[in-house]
Amino acid sequence: MIAMRTLDKTRPGVAAQAVGIAQGALDKAAEYASTRVQFGKRIGEFQAVEHMLADMATQVEAARSLVYSVARTIDAGEPNITKASSMAKLFASDVAMKVTCDAVQIFGGYGYMRDYPVEKMMRDAKITQIYEGTNQIQRSIIGSAVLKEAARRK
């Protein structure tokens, strides 16, 4: 029981780490897209890349908001933070993985090379889906909490 309560308070830290990784990847991808020229124009001017960056920015901001929300809940001394904590860790780490993969895509072949930072960011994002409880475990925790809440409403 003590270990589970500890995880409730450490998972938002993993979520915050994931948001930082995702933000870093977004920043690097936007910088690269604004300077890399293909077919006579910056790749950021291509609508497909623009849309990728828009989705990445939106996902990072949504993850950040969820992390801030659970942090406020913890700071307020709420006793039952398990679901919120697991949701923040799950969502933020999945966003980090998606955003870093998209950043690698924007960099093209360079994104996969160790000479560019997004390759390491993608590897770092992956571990956030694993430690402090895998994302599959987070889904079980969240699903169980949702079912308990529904049963109480009957």
Of the pLDDT bands very low, low, confident and very high (cuts 50, 70, 90), residue 6 is: confident
CA angle centred on 13, ends 9 and 19, rounded to 5°: 145
Of the pLDDT bands very low, low, confident and very high (cuts 50, 70, 90), residue 2 is: confident
Least confident range of 4-8, 73-77, 88-92: 4-8
User: Under 8 Å CB-to-CB from 111, ≥6 apart: which residues?
Assistant: 103, 104, 105, 118, 119
Catalytic residue among 31, 61, 78, 132: 132
In this structure, the number of other CB atoms found within 10 A of the CB of residue 26 comes to 24
- Which of 72, 94, 109 lies closest to 14, judged by CA? 94
User: Catalytic residue at 149?
Assistant: no
Is the distance from CB of 119 to CB of 113 less than 8 angstroms? Answer: yes
**How many whole angstroms separate alpha carbon 127 and alpha carbon 97?**
9
Q: Which fold has domain 2-149?
A: Butyryl-CoA Dehydrogenase, subunit A; domain 3 (1.20.140)
Q: What is the DSSP string of 50-69?
A: HHHHHHHHHHHHHHHHHHHH
Is the distance from CB of 139 to CB of 87 less than 8 angstroms? Answer: no
Of the pLDDT bands very low, low, confident and very high (cuts 50, 70, 90), residue 35 is: very high
- Each domain of the chain, given as residue ranges in start order, spans 2-149
**How many whole angstroms separate alpha carbon 138 and alpha carbon 8?**
11
